[in-house]
Amino acid sequence: MDHEADAYRTDLMTITRFVLNEQSKYPESRGDFTILLSNIVLGCKFVCSAVNKAGLAKLIGLAGETNIQGEEQKKLDVLSNDVFVKALVSSGRTSVLVSEEDEEATFVESSKRGKYCVVFDPLDGSSNIDCGVSIGTIFGIYTMSHNDEPTTEDVLKPGNEMVAAGYCMYGSSCMLVLSTGTGVNGFTLDPSLGEFILTHPDIKIPKKGNIYSVNEGNAQNWDGPTTKYVEKCKFPKDGSPAKSLRYVGSMVADVHRTLLYGGIFLYPADKKSPNGKLRVLYEVFPMSFLMEQAGGQAFTGKKRALELVPEKIHERSPIFLGSYEDVEEIKALYAAED
């Protein structure tokens, strides 16, 4: 990278300009997606700013606590959810919203309805909030296929029907990674401009990586293929070097590193959680969509993750995602079990 030239770059590709450019390839497009996305971007900017000042503003801690003014405080994830729900409803472009924070789906009132359904986790990795470790927002977008009353069936669709997916990571910098089905692009928030600027065009995950990422504390409850795979990462018998272990415990941070550096992220099933921990609609699907768009793979232990058909909005699934060749290895171990 030419840092000197970069320091004086004047042609800034903002996320809005990027999406407008994409939209111009479809003459029939009326800008609905651009409007929806700018509301998602607004939510991300709000959460980023709230996360940055969480300690100062006393946003950390439990919802229901009262501050010194006697006002009830909202936990950061509750606050983030409120912001996203309001931004998405007021965009006038959504009909159904599914949030990790809300037990039931939100059906937008008819006067504000639009053609998109958004599934999202407003603040994933919330157990990392209080110690200042990277956390993120994850989202996936479907289109409505009819004009009748919206129902949960409109989001209980396989992940390969999503039209877009992305995440925003609130880390050492704030980064939004997006795919609209034609590759993956990363945008970094320039805090002085308040704009996400294209900094990582056309992200491709390395074909193979040297990092594995898993909560090894669950190892005693894993099944055979996962146990064998992790053993192979640590004690390879083919002369290749052992893989490094990295695990943040925030899916956005672990997946972001996997996307950029290569390797594999695993949240397998175990004896205690036969369906794993991560939620299909707003964790497994968006991240699997991004991985495939970047040239990687995502597998559930049984099938391609994006082919799952969820039956419930908060359903969970085991997930193995990352570099193409690393995921091939775990697929081979599961195939050998059958």
- The residues that touch ligand AFP, with contacts defined as CB under 6 A, are 124-128, 215, 249-251, 254, 277-278
How many residues are listed for the chain in this entry? 338
Nearer to ligand AFP, 144 or 219 (CB): 219
Quote the distance between the C-alpha of residue 108 and its chain's center.
Answer: 23
Q: How many CB atoms lie within 10 A of CB 69?
A: 7
What is the closest distance, in whole angstroms, from the C-beta atom of residue 222 to ligand AFP in the complex? Answer: 13
Q: How many CB atoms lie within 10 A of CB 66?
A: 9
What is the closest distance, in whole angstroms, from the C-beta atom of residue 55 to ligand AFP in the complex? Answer: 18
Nearer to ligand AFP, 39 or 128 (CB): 128
What is the closest distance, in whole angstroms, from the C-beta atom of residue 52 to ligand AFP in the complex? Answer: 19
Nearer to ligand AFP, 19 or 278 (CB): 278
Nearer to ligand AFP, 255 or 306 (CB): 255
The number of CA neighbours under 13 Å toward the Cβ of 37 is 25
Nearer to ligand AFP, 199 or 227 (CB): 227
Nearer to ligand AFP, 19 or 269 (CB): 269
Structure-token pair, residue 143: 């289109």
Residue 87: partners with Cβ closer than 8 Å, 6 or more residues away: 39, 40, 42, 43, 46
Q: How far apart are CA 314 and CA 45, in angstroms?
A: 26
What is the closest distance, in whole angstroms, from the C-beta atom of residue 288 to ligand AFP in the complex? Answer: 14
What is the closest distance, in whole angstroms, from the C-beta atom of residue 283 to ligand AFP in the complex? Answer: 6
Q: Residue 280: in which H helix or E strand, if any?
A: none
What is the closest distance, in whole angstroms, from the C-beta atom of residue 255 to ligand AFP in the complex? Answer: 8
Question: Reading across the β-sheet that carries 185-190, which strands appear in turn?
Answer: 106-107, 94-99, 113-124, 135-143, 164-170, 174-179, 185-190, 195-200
